Amino acid sequence: MNSTTGVSNEAYRIDLSRGCKSGEQVFSLKKMPFGAIFICLFFFCAVFFPLCFPAGDAHTAEDEDHQSMGKNVIDLVNRARLKGTRCGNKYFKPTRPVAWNSVLARASHKHSRDMAGKEHMGHTGSDDSGPGDRIALLGYKWMAYGENVCEGYATPEEAVKAWLKSREHCENIMNPGFREAGAAYAKGTERIYWTLVLATPEFSSRLRP
């Protein structure tokens, strides 16, 4: 493996219980004159509306490309799962395909962009998050998950081929316990970064559309 390419994986089988709470700041308009309220609203809309509602078509083509490439990765993963393959010295018999999951795809894209932004491949995000943290933060209730990442490969075919040549990554791909998956890439200034997340949702969330 040369310096321009690399692969890394991570898998966990431990369920986590997570919670969060948020605080609110209340701003009262009751004591403000109507004119002052109007001026405040005008400037608020002028400044923040473009930030909250960016142009709808600005990233449409890019988003479609990420989704298309991510689905190509999952198609290749499913080919391997349906065929059966050897991961190192262990043979994995054919198993059921994983279903595309948009939440896992979003988590994959977010992590790929994070890696591309800092030009560093790994499973720990800039915010110190791990794979399980990232999918849970997006609302995915998992019972098990696995994550493969790699850098320097130009196509889905090259990325999946590299993962299948590595025992640990191959075992993630062939794990019969995984039910859903998502994948994405992001371009750094010098390299392309890929992320594949496979997971099994909690029983209560398996019937989600």
d(CA 22, CA 90): 47
Looking at residue 61, what is its pLDDT? 55
- Full-model pTM: 0.70
Q: What is the mean predicted confidence (pLDDT) over 86-112?
A: 96
Among candidate residues 192, 209, 202, 201, the one with its CA nearest the CA of residue 7: 192
| pLDDT for the residue numbered 67 | 78
- d(C-alpha 142, C-alpha 202), whole Å: 5
Cα–Cα separations (whole angstroms), residue 18 to 126, 194, 202:
20, 27, 13
In this prediction, residue 77 carries a pLDDT of 98
> Which tens digits make up the pLDDT trace of 18-75?
222 222 222 333 344 545 444 555 554 554 444 444 444 444 455 567 678 999 999 9
Q: With contact defined as beta carbons under 8 Å apart, do 196 and 163 qualify?
A: yes
Enter the DSSP assignment of 98.
Answer: P
| Contact assessment for residue 70 and residue 109, using Cβ atoms and an 8 Å cutoff | yes
Question: What are the pLDDT digits (tens) for 110-169?
Answer: 999 999 999 899 998 989 999 999 999 999 999 999 999 999 999 999 999 999 999 999
**Residue 159 φ then ψ, to 5°:** -65, -50
